[in-house]
Amino acid sequence: MLQILEATQAAYGYLPVAALKRISQVTGAWYAMIYGTASYYRHLRFEPPADEAQAAEVSSRRPAEAAYLARLGASLGGRAGGDA
């Protein structure tokens, strides 16, 4: 089963639900068993990989974001100095 899942991920870049359902139909294995096997292995994923260009663009904005927040005296995920 692991070889089938790895080959599927190599073809699609991830494990789409439709592919898992098709594997279930062809092999006769329960979908839950296939999903459980796939979720056990960390190198198998159910979401498409992130777009590297988009990730690079977002990370390139970090310095500008930090400067903007510093000028406002704010931070992400925290409270401003006077808030209690």
- Going from the N-terminus, what domains does the chain have, and what CATH number goes with each? 2-72 (1.10.10.1590)
> Which pTM was predicted?
0.60
Give the whole-angstrom CA distance, residue 84 versus residue 75.
15
Using alpha carbons, select from 16, 13, 26, 22 the residue that is nearest to residue 52. Answer: 13
- Angstrom distance (rounded) from CA 40 to CA 50: 21
pLDDT tens string, the chain, 84 residues long: the values are 999 999 999 999 999 999 999 999 999 999 999 999 999 999 999 999 877 666 666 667 667 777 777 888 877 775 555 554
